[in-house]
Structure 1
Amino acid sequence: MTTTLASHVAALREAGRLAEPGPFGEAVLGHLELTLPEASLTVALADGLTLAYAHPAVTRVGPAGTSGEDAALRVSGTLPRVPYGATSTVIVLTEGPGGPVLFPVDPARTTVVPGTNLAGEPRDTLHLHDYAVSAADVRPLAPGELAEAGLRAALARAALIAGAAERCVELTVRHTTTRTQFGRPLSRFQAVKQEEARLIEESALIRAAVDAAARELSLVGVAAAKAQASASVAEIARIAHQLHGAIGFTELGELRFATTRLWSWRDEEGDESYWATRLGREALAADDVWALLAV
């Protein structure tokens, strides 16, 4: 059964709400007809790698190394901060010597530098030293497939942010309705009501933008969704922690599991400045800006 983009986004939003661990690589690769291994998958959209044909072809046309006897590659370089990179099969998408390619990387054959993000999720750096990729493991990609993978990765992160934002709303509303001060629930105070309304509004903005982008994948839709998601993180975290008070900062407090992920995911796959810039460039290049924005 084919899983639609909207289904992936819904699942990722719920994973973000529940703070479920995992790299969720399948959501990024959903547009490719791949036979994926049963093992956990993570995706690295890489640039800066050095790729060369493992068996260069000898031809009379072009410089040496511009073609190969087969698709086998030798790869060197660094894959920085790969989600769960030390414990997952890493699917690398990058530009190869003959165009975009996809291939798996076994972390056991690389030099791994363990790392984490603010939420404690693994973000491991893998160093490849003349890493051999067999011809059978190399899949050529169309430029459009590589670009779509980048959009899917950003939308996946925005969907996770949407889920974590909803969790902040749930926890904050529960706290303000059960916590009493001066003989009445916090939610009865006008200042608290106003801040809660802003919190709900920011969460709703993210969800609306993410759902719109999931209906029809496009650069404009994804740029708007990720820009909105990343931009809303600061306000959501501020309000949620302010209304929780000191209890929201405790090590095992439920709110911390949501907000540390929000702060971490905000920058991953491009922050709000990056995607706002891309959206602005699309608008400047468009013949009809209103038609672009009304998509």
Structure 2
Amino acid sequence: MSTHTIDTGAPVIPADTYDTTTFYADPDAIAVVTNTTAPDAVALPAPDASTAELLAAAREAGRRAVPAPFAETALVARPLLRRVGLPVPGGPLSYAVAPDLTIRYARPSASAVGSAGCSGDDDTLLVTGTLRRVPWARTARAVVVLATAPFGPVLFTLTPDQAVLTAGGNLAEEPRDNLYLDALEIPAAQVRRTLPQVLEEAELRAALARSALIAGAGESCVELTVAHTAARTQFGRPLSRFQAVKQEQARLIEEVALVRAAVQAAATPLDTGAPVTRFAVAAAKTQASASAAEITRIAHQLHGAIGITRLHPLHLATTRLWSWRDEDGDETYWARHLARSVEATALWSALTAEP
């Protein structure tokens, strides 16, 4: 078992120039996230750890604004590859759920009945279309793609250099790249037929990973805000001594606690495949995205104008919160799924069931 270190001592690093190749040198490595502004180091759990352990590590990555795709690799890409029996590449990974790709067989069967490419001699595919806003695509060793092929749901992998990449980013300047595929041939060895449940699991994993990152960034907002209001004085006393400031700080801590609790509650159902999994994940992402607005509002209000500048570390958390709120489904999207996941007669049992 090897160990590698990601140094986040200089957090304002352009994401496209950050060396993510050391993030995971091989699929069995344990990474250590360090921050030179604090003497502590956090050992990330092994890749086959429980979802609860991985979520805790993702939350810490969100708190430290780690410029690397830990959550995408550990919570989405790797579990899905293991689920379908594909080898897990070393290095950082990303994912894309792309139902709109045009997929046909690269070696059509001569005896097939129907349109050309609807059946093949093997599972080698020709893929055309666009993978939009793929997280960390330019730094990923491979991208795990979930789509629908002529024979049904399919999972396959590709490398970014196989596509035409257009660089993009979110508000926090994290890579969100478009990958354009033009009749790209995917070898059968990189393709796995799968079930619709795997596509659903991919969506749930992505949403829960993003929720954990939001929880971590929220914790950073709390830490920075509490420190600021304790140190800043007005009318001869710290800001934290004013009742209005205390009330807003309490509300900030409450919002972050709600997100953290919702994320933790969804971990076990995702591992066990419990019937309430979709309900739990939908609740977590709905709460996380909704709370992101309040967390950033309160944090910036209590910091005053200084919190929005690039010279202040608060912007590392809040710009991520604003970005992650919408990614992998915003609160409106997941609130609808939350409502559809239970009938009125089953709502109480869903709320009170053991995870």
Q: Does 1:282 align with 2:328?
A: no
User: Percent of aligned pairs with the same residue?
Assistant: 58
Q: In the aligned structure 2, how far is the partner of 1:278 from the partner of 1:202?
A: 22
Alpha carbons 1:286, 1:292 under 8 Å: kept: no
Q: Does 1:153 align with 2:195?
A: no
What is the Cα deviation at residue 34 of structure 1?
A: 3.8
Number of aligned residues: 294
Alignment-derived partner of residue 139 in structure 1: 192
Q: Does 1:246 align with 2:298?
A: no
Alpha carbons 2:106, 2:117 under 8 Å: kept: no
Structure 2 residue corresponding to 1:174, chosen from 222, 227, 230: 227
CA separation of 1:17 and 1:60: change in aligned 2, threshold 3 A: closer
Q: In the aligned structure 2, how far is the partner of 1:66 from the partner of 1:153?
A: 30
Alignment-derived partner of residue 136 in structure 2: 84
- Greater RCO between the two (CA within 8 Å, min separation 6)? 1
- Which consecutive unaligned segments of at least 5 residues does structure 1 have? none
Q: In the aligned structure 2, how far is the partner of 1:34 from the partner of 1:203?
A: 37
Q: In the aligned structure 2, how far is the partner of 1:60 from the partner of 1:179?
A: 75
Q: In the aligned structure 2, how far is the partner of 1:286 from the partner of 1:90?
A: 39
Q: In the aligned structure 2, how far is the partner of 1:28 from the partner of 1:35?
A: 14
SS of 1:129's partner is: strand
Q: In the aligned structure 1, how far is the partner of 2:120 from the partner of 2:344?
A: 40
What is the Cα deviation at residue 21 of structure 1?
A: 1.5
SS of 2:259's partner is: helix
- Structure 1 residues 262-284: Cα deviation after superposition (integer angstroms, max 9, x where no partner): 0000000000000000111123x
- Map 1:39-188 onto structure 2 (within 5 A): 39-59=91-111, 61-88=113-140, 89-188=142-241
Q: In the aligned structure 2, how far is the partner of 1:150 from the partner of 1:28?
A: 9
Structure 2 residue corresponding to 1:233, chosen from 289, 292, 299: 292
User: TM-score by structure 1 length?
Assistant: 0.96
- Which amino acid in structure 2 is aligned with residue 294 of structure 1? T
Q: In the aligned structure 1, how far is the partner of 2:57 from the partner of 2:87?
A: 21
Runs of 4+ in 1 over 3 A off after TM superposition: 60-64
Alignment-derived partner of residue 19 in structure 1: 65
What is the Cα deviation at residue 61 of structure 1?
A: 4.6
SS of 2:341's partner is: helix
- Structure 1 residues 56-77: Cα deviation after superposition (integer angstroms, max 9, x where no partner): 1123555543321000000000
CA separation of 1:60 and 1:249: change in aligned 2, threshold 3 A: closer
- Structure 1 residues 200-245: Cα deviation after superposition (integer angstroms, max 9, x where no partner): 0000000000000112121000000000000001111010000001
What is the Cα deviation at residue 144 of structure 1?
A: 1.5
- Which amino acid in structure 2 is aligned with residue 290 of structure 1? W
What is the Cα deviation at residue 152 of structure 1?
A: 0.5
SS of 1:86's partner is: helix
Q: In the aligned structure 2, how far is the partner of 1:48 from the partner of 1:123?
A: 18
- Which amino acid in structure 2 is aligned with residue 69 of structure 1? D
Structure 2 residue corresponding to 1:273, chosen from 319, 323, 332: 332
- Structure 1 residues 28-60: Cα deviation after superposition (integer angstroms, max 9, x where no partner): 132524421112211111121000000011235
- Which amino acid in structure 1 is aligned with residue 106 of structure 2? A
Alpha carbons 1:116, 1:123 under 8 Å: kept: yes
